[in-house]
């Protein structure tokens, strides 16, 4: 889930979610006024009046969605917030291990029907933000980068068929043979990967309607591509590496997803060696309890799904780690139990310091898994996202 961020909007429940937008808007508001098309190039008067609260005119997630692929691989501008989220665990043939994240967020400034026609190619009604991170497990180094751009003049955008989402040269593009080319570079840190979808879209919640709270609109539309066979190269200051492994894609879109009292979330995307996957998330409340709208999905090797309610899984924290940069105390070890599946897993970070110190501070990192399924040993890898440990998320999305 990438949940998954701004008051009355959201960028990724992991995503997972939209927690980054409040800070983004504060950072960008002056730049938006000057350069994002609030002013047309030929005029000195503002051509748009933007109101951020409440998000009037945007569509809300309020019931099951009529999914249509490849259409729904692309953008949904009737909703205020959307993101495309990729993570993966990669390895060289000599044993060096890496994790990566590339997430591209879209934030609508106005509903489409409220956006006036403007002549400038620079005029925009969408803001894009992207996070790119690489965990060099063998070297115990984590790199994190952030970019912003306007959805105008081909600087950033998304399309459905053929699928493409990009922010400048950080991008995922569908190839003519149906594969996906993911690439991102910042100075001497880069990934250049080919992803092959092995399972197709998996819908979470009620046919892709993922409810996060009790009020109307406290929900997102959410699917994953949970098993993407991955090959390619990555680059660090030490050199270029041939790698292979598995990636995971999340795509969510919504308006005003989370409810009062929800201060953060823990989100898990786990790929097991028997060919199954598990997505679970728990939303933490301000009284220390776990919100009843926390949920998950188990995906069989054949692609069948079991939806999991809050009462069907338990996540226990077994270790912790304190960031020297933010001072936050994060969980750094978990035991995950799902009695109905006879599944018991232990998850540990491949390295502790995978904190994202960007516009909003959160933890997003590669983890390794071991445990039992129906009494038999099982292992795997995955990614975990932790938000709300530096400050409460309440009221920010």
Could you tell me the residue ranges of all domains in the chain? 2-55+78-386
Fold assignment, 2-55+78-386: AttH-like fold (2.40.370)
pLDDT tops 60 at residue 24: no
d(CA 241, CA 231): 11
pLDDT tops 60 at residue 25: no
Which among 361, 366, 382 has a CA at the least distance from the CA of 5? Answer: 361
CA distances from 271 to 32, 125, 248, 313 (A): 40, 37, 9, 17
The 10s digit of each residue's pLDDT in 343-352 is 999 999 999 9
Give the model's pLDDT for residue 54: 43
Residue by residue, DSSP assigns 57-115 as: T-----S-----TTGGGS--TTSSEEEEEEEEEEE-TT--EEEEEEEEEEEESS-GGGP
The sign of the CA dihedral 305, 308, 313, 318 is: positive
The 10s digit of each residue's pLDDT in 227-262 is 999 999 999 999 999 999 999 999 999 987 666 777
Most confident of 12-21, 81-90, 209-218: 81-90
CB atoms closer than 10 angstroms to residue 245: 21
Token pair belonging to 396: 């920010």
pLDDT band for position 48 (cuts 50, 70, 90): very low
pLDDT band for position 17 (cuts 50, 70, 90): very low
pLDDT tops 90 at residue 266: yes
The 10s digit of each residue's pLDDT in 351-384 is 999 999 998 899 999 999 999 999 999 999 999 9
pLDDT tops 80 at residue 50: no
pLDDT tops 60 at residue 295: yes
Q: What is the mean pLDDT of the chain?
A: 84
The 10s digit of each residue's pLDDT in 53-62 is 445 688 988 8
d(CA 136, CA 145): 14
Q: Are the CB atoms for 14 and 3 separated by under 8 Å?
A: yes
d(CA 372, CA 359): 39
The more confidently predicted of residues 23 and 152 is 152
pLDDT tops 70 at residue 42: no
97-112 average pLDDT score: 90
The 10s digit of each residue's pLDDT in 133-145 is 999 999 999 999 9
Give the model's pLDDT for residue 11: 38
d(CA 229, CA 182): 12
98-113 average pLDDT score: 88
Residue 208 contacts by C-beta under 8 Å, 6 or more apart in sequence? 64, 65, 67, 221, 222, 223
The more confidently predicted of residues 340 and 56 is 340
Give the model's pLDDT for residue 153: 79
Give the model's pLDDT for residue 66: 96
Give the model's pLDDT for residue 122: 52
This prediction has a pTM of 0.85
Q: Are the CB atoms for 328 and 389 separated by under 8 Å?
A: yes
Beta strands at 209-211 and 164-167: parallel, antiparallel or unpaired: unpaired
Q: Are the CB atoms for 331 and 347 separated by under 8 Å?
A: no
307-334 average pLDDT score: 96
pLDDT band for position 52 (cuts 50, 70, 90): very low
d(CA 257, CA 219): 5
Token pair belonging to 18: 């939209």
Stretch among 107-111, 271-275, 286-290 having the lowest mean pLDDT: 107-111
d(CA 235, CA 192): 9
3-class DSSP assignment, residue 383? strand
Give the model's pLDDT for residue 58: 87
Give the model's pLDDT for residue 213: 76
Give the model's pLDDT for residue 5: 37
Q: Are the CB atoms for 247 and 195 separated by under 8 Å?
A: yes
Q: Are the CB atoms for 132 and 94 separated by under 8 Å?
A: no
pLDDT tops 50 at residue 21: no
CB atoms closer than 10 angstroms to residue 393: 27
The more confidently predicted of residues 369 and 153 is 369
Give the model's pLDDT for residue 364: 98
Do you find a cis peptide bond into 70, omega within 30 degrees of 0? Answer: yes
Listed in sequence order, the DSSP H helices in the chain are 21-35
Residue by residue, DSSP assigns 168-225 as: TTEEEEE-TTS-EEEEEEETTEEEEEEEEESS--EE-TBTTEEE-SSSTT-EEEEEEE
Residue by residue, DSSP assigns 152-163 as: STTSEEEETTTT
């Amino acid at each position: 889930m990438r949940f998954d961020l701004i008051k009355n909007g959201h960028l990724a429940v992991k995503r997972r979610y939209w927690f980054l937008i409040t800070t983004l808007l504060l950072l960008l508001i002056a730049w938006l006024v000057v350069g994002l098309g609030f002013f047309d190039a030929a005029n000195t008067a503002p051509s748009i009046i933007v109101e951020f609260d409440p998000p009037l005119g945007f569509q809300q997630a309020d019931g099951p969605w009529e999914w249509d692929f490849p259409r729904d691989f692309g953008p949904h501008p009737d909703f205020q917030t959307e993101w495309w989220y990729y993570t993966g665990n990669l390895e060289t043939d000599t044993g060096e291990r890496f994790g990566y994240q590339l997430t591209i967020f879209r934030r609508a400034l106005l509903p489409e029907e409220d956006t006036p026609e403007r002549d400038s190619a620079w005029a925009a009604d969408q803001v894009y933000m992207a996070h790119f991170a690489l965990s060099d497990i063998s070297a115990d180094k984590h790199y994190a980068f952030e970019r912003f751009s306007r959805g105008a003049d081909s600087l950033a955008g998304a399309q459905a068929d053929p699928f493409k989402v990009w922010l400048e040269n950080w991008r995922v593009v569908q190839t003519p043979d149906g594969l996906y080319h993911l690439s991102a570079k910042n100075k001497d840190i880069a990934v250049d990967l080919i992803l092959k979808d092995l399972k197709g879209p998996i819908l979470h919640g009620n046919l892709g309607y993922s409810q996060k709270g009790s009020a109307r609109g406290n929900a997102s539309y959410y699917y994953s591509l949970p098993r993407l066979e991955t090959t390619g190269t990555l680059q660090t200051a030490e050199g270029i590496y041939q790698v292979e492994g598995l990636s995971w894609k999340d795509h969510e879109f919504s308006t005003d997803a989370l409810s009062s009292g929800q201060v953060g979330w823990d989100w898990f995307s786990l790929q097991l060696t028997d060919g199954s996957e598990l997505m679970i998330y728990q939303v933490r409340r301000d009284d220390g309890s776990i919100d009843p709208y926390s949920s998950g999905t188990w995906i069989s090797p054949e692609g069948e799904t079991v939806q999991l309610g809050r009462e069907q899984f338990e996540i226990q924290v077994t270790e912790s780690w304190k960031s020297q940069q933010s001072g936050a105390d994060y969980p750094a070890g978990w035991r995950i139990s799902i009695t109905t599946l006879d599944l018991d897993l232990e998850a540990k970070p491949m390295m502790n310091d995978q904190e994202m110190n960007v516009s909003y501070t959160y933890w997003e990192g590669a983890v390794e898994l071991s445990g039992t399924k129906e009494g038999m040993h099982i292992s795997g890898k995955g990614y975990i996202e932790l938000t709300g440990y530096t400050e409460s998320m309440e009221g920010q999305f």
